[in-house]
Amino acid sequence: MQNLTNKIQTIIAHAPVAAGTSNITDCVVIDTQGYEGLRFIVGFGTITSSAVTSLKAQQSEVKASATSLTGGADLAGTGITVADTDDNKIFIMDIYRPTKRYVQLFINRGTANAVVDFASAELYGSRKLPVPASSDGAQQELNVSPAEGTA
């Protein structure tokens, strides 16, 4: 069966964050063991003119806690600049075959307010299918050829 739901694991990388200029450095550390890759999906709300906002990822072999790495190093090429005109847009960072087990997203905000509506991570390319449902409360549903009618 060709569906995506049973082939990825979705994790909340960070809860929504109100307008502000502080960096978001406490995203959930993602354990990539058993997967070929992951992608971060970040949605922004209102971004004030002159805001300096960007995304990047780090990796490490050691997870210090649920929200920090030990000796994390930036991953080359993962820097994404978010323009102050990118209100209500989604940014996707895909990391295929990271060279270390743990990966973490960082959201940098400065100068003027930027709202983060959501940040999630999707692990894909599992060596074992189906992928278990996410443990952080994410709900998933698969509908195969559903008939028309009341949802």
pLDDT at 128 (0 to 100)? 82
pLDDT at 47 (0 to 100)? 97
Highest CATH level, class, for 5-124: mainly beta
pLDDT at 136 (0 to 100)? 64
- Centre a 10 Å sphere on the Cβ of residue 37 and count the other Cβ atoms it contains: 15
- Centre a 10 Å sphere on the Cβ of residue 54 and count the other Cβ atoms it contains: 18
The segments of the chain whose pLDDT lies below 70 read 1, 130, 132-139
pLDDT at 79 (0 to 100)? 96
Domain ranges of the chain: 5-124
pLDDT at 52 (0 to 100)? 96
